[in-house]
Amino acid sequence: MTRLVSSRAGRRVLLMAGCALVLLGAPSTAAAHAALETATPASGVALKAAPQAIKLVFDEEVVPRLARVTVVGGHGPDVAGSLVVAGSVVTVPLRPGRADSYTVRWRMVATDDGHATEGAYTYGVGVKPLPPGPASGLGVPVAPELLAWLEFVGVVLTGGLLTFRAIVRPRLLEREGGARDGTVAVWAGVVGAALGLHAGLLAFLTGAYPIVGGGLAGFVNTEIEPIRVGTHLGQAWTVTTFAWLGVLMLLVAAWVTPAKRERLLGWGGVLALGTAFGISWASHPAARGALALIADYLHLVAGALWVGGLLALVILAVGARSLSRPAREALVRASLLRLSAIAVPIVVVVGLAGAYLVLREFPGPSAIVTTRYGVTLLLKTAAYVIGAPVEQQPALALRRRPPDRAEHNRPEPEDDEGEQGHDAEPVRPTGIGDVEQTEADDQAGDRGSGQ
């Protein structure tokens, strides 16, 4: 019976793992950058006389020292003067210019989340304005969504897998199959930590590039320290980098000290889950208040535990191959029961956090199905909600199984006293401790027979 349940559970785990990986391939990113709300003169307008200043109003406050605005005609120099920034309003005095089509190109950094946005529009003086020309400088050929996806995969491999494994993994493996199982877990954690560390560095550089602007040489020669200290992007990257280095230190310590390996791997997983806060801190919900930041972090942690848990079960299955059949059956039973105990809370956290983010981030209900972020968030939440009953089925099958069914199939032992069978203690369900005690008794019996 246990073998049948474990086979069905294995197929369900693989199915859920595949669905989770497909959903993870579409990273969810909300749009909460500093967006231009109004501009004076407006885009596409044709003026009879040159304006004395340009006024740009954004929906969020911007960092004054990182604000950039250029106003360039078709064949002339930049006529923009020194910027005056007051919260979310940027005023640009203009030097006198001739009749021409002028391109206003701006680059702003939001005060609260540290993300840079840029845009351009044109207006004409005495002529019809032309469309904006391409921006100068070298772009960064790395999609921020790809880097966010890689950072999350690092959290899954290290934080979700190791933490979930520490919760679900029975102690039976520590005695019989723990060496191989622990080695696989250490290497999975190292790969995840290295991936998260490097993806975070590239994400910081990619986010800092539009803040600096210009060509690649200008970016290399720019002092990064104000961006690292003065923006959420830089602050989150700094904290996350030190956290990943701490995770790597714990993994190395787990490798060289087998006696304390499981404890060190568990703490490394917890610290790796903490790095997900850096992802939330550097992302858009940080601009929406502390509650949205916490909800986004809980959403990431619950998702990492879910996917990492599926991978942890695969590693446990590999480690259980070397166990005896009774020990392997007890391992399957204990793992599935522990999994079912924490699967529902994880789904509840994912659902509540996702619902709050939907209500907090989206302007209306229609955005759930009309935006990429809303559709992805909806699909993820649906996958978790559907997956919870699927993961509960093997555990429910084990609970419905009569605990003494296997004992009833065994012949009654004969005794000389006759009434001993009526006074015997009731049969207890087979568990991890029972398997360990049975194997210890068998070994003692073998030694007695040899003597």
Calculate mean pLDDT across residues 384-405.
Answer: 54
Beta bridge partners of 70: 105
pLDDT of amino acid 204: 81
pLDDT of amino acid 432: 39
For 315, the token pair is: 């590693």
pLDDT of amino acid 130: 81
- In this structure, is residue 260 part of a structural domain? yes
Residues 6+ apart with CB under 8 A from 255: 186, 261
Beta bridge partners of 80: 94
Of 67, 99, 125, which residue sits at a domain end? Answer: 125
**CATH number of the domain within which 94 lies:** 2.60.40.1220
Residues 6+ apart with CB under 8 A from 10: 317
- In this structure, is residue 449 part of a structural domain? no
- In this structure, is residue 53 part of a structural domain? yes
Is 161 in the same domain as 113?
Answer: no
Q: How far does Cα 432 stand from its chain's mean position?
A: 33
Of 90, 125, 160, which residue sits at a domain end? Answer: 125
Q: Are 159 and 297 in contact (CB under 8 A)?
A: no
Is 328 in the same domain as 182?
Answer: yes
Is 327 in the same domain as 195?
Answer: yes
- In tens, the pLDDT along 92-123 reads 999 988 889 998 988 888 876 667 777 888 89
Of 73, 98, 125, which residue sits at a domain end? Answer: 125
Average pLDDT taken over every residue of the chain: 72
Is 120 in the same domain as 148?
Answer: no
Distances (CA, A) of 308 to 134, 159, 165, 373: 44, 8, 8, 22
Write out the residue range of the structural domain in which residue 82 sits: 36-125
- In this structure, is residue 31 part of a structural domain? no
pLDDT of amino acid 47: 92
pLDDT of amino acid 281: 80
Calculate mean pLDDT across residues 7-34.
Answer: 49
Is 161 in the same domain as 115?
Answer: no
- In this structure, is residue 424 part of a structural domain? no
Torsion, CA 89, CA 93, CA 94, CA 96, rounded to 10 = 150
Is the predicted pLDDT of residue 440 greater than 60, yes or no? no
Residue closest to 428 by CA, chosen among 394, 404, 446, 411: 404
- In this structure, is residue 5 part of a structural domain? no
- In this structure, is residue 133 part of a structural domain? no
Is 116 in the same domain as 150?
Answer: no
Is 376 in the same domain as 263?
Answer: yes
- In this structure, is residue 130 part of a structural domain? no
Calculate mean pLDDT across residues 79-97.
Answer: 92
Is 82 in the same domain as 167?
Answer: no
Question: Binning pLDDT at 50, 70 and 90, where does residue 430 land?
Answer: very low
Is 118 in the same domain as 154?
Answer: no
Buried b (16+ CB within 10 A) or exposed e, 163-180: bbbbbbbbebbeebbbee
Tokens 């406050």, located at residue: 61
Is 277 in the same domain as 211?
Answer: yes
Is 214 in the same domain as 96?
Answer: no
Number of domains in the chain: 2
Is 56 in the same domain as 182?
Answer: no
Torsion, CA 400, CA 406, CA 407, CA 409, rounded to 10 = 120
| Highest mean predicted confidence (pLDDT) among 84-88, 133-137, 342-346 | 84-88
Is the model more confident about 419 or about 57?
57
Tokens 């002092």, located at residue: 223
Q: Where are the alpha helices (DSSP H) in 71-177?
A: 144-155, 161-168, 172-176
Is the predicted pLDDT of residue 168 greater than 60, yes or no? yes
Calculate mean pLDDT across residues 232-261.
Answer: 89
Q: Are 66 and 101 in contact (CB under 8 A)?
A: no
